[in-house]
Copies of this chain bind each other. A is one copy, B any other.
Amino acid sequence: MTSQKSAASHGPGKARVPRAVREQQMLDASVEAFAANGYHGAGVEEIAAIAGISKPMIYLYFGSKEELFVACIRREAGRLMDMIAGVVRAEDPAERQLWSALEGFFTFVSDHRGAWTVLYRQARIQGGQSTREVDAMRGRTIDLIGELLARAASSEPGPEAVMAAHALVGACESLADWMLDNPDTDPKTTAKQLSHFAWPGLSKLMEATRARQRGEA
């Protein structure tokens, strides 16, 4: 019932924080609550309490629970993308870029212990805008990886690359869960191990593709 986060400089009264800041506080609280209890399990009131404000503000700022959820997804998805973009070097060879991306992904998951994974799992089922948004992002990621694979093999993206991309992304997601259950796992190690596991198959796949394309030409 009492606010939990009111700045320490004054009583528990209203805090008068500028809009942009409050927005982030609310998103922080939302991610926490959604991650802990799920979309349905987390009540708007609860979220407000965590943020140290009152319910109406949430509606004032975000309009509805679902829009709030979508805003969470967007922010976290953006952060993930930023993290990856910050690690991948365009001048690296495609293969190298791929492993960098993996590393970025696992690092992100590791740093944001659970929040994103859970939000992500939630969002993929929820239906509505959040699902569309997350599915779109996942789709783009898969396409991107498919292209990297193709480039790594100096070939055009074919059905094998698409399938491999799906498989690789699924493997990442599963290992992310695993990392969360084994907190002392190192993201970089995980990325390297996955690459050891995936690379031989990928390169063989690519080789075949290349051969086939040569044959067709």
Smallest Cβ-Cβ distance to A162: which chain B residue? B178
In the assembly, how many copies of this chain are there? 4
> In the assembled complex, how far is the CB of residue A210 from the closest CB belonging to chain B, in whole angstroms?
15
A160 contacts across to B, CB distance below 8 A: 193, 197
Given contacts A122-B125, A125-B125, whether A178 and B163 have CB atoms under 8 Å apart is yes
A38 contacts across to B, CB distance below 8 A: 125-127
Q: Report if A121 contacts B (CB, 8 A).
A: yes
Q: Report if A214 contacts B (CB, 8 A).
A: no
Interface string of A116-160 (1 = CB under 8 A from B): 001001101111000000000000000000000000000000001
Find residues 170-203 in chain A having any chain B CB closer than 8 Å to their own CB.
170-175, 177-178, 190, 193-194, 196-203
Find residues 21-43 in chain A having any chain B CB closer than 8 Å to their own CB.
37-38, 40-41
A172 contacts across to B, CB distance below 8 A: 170
> A201 to B168, alpha carbons, bound, how many Å?
13
A164 contacts across to B, CB distance below 8 A: 197
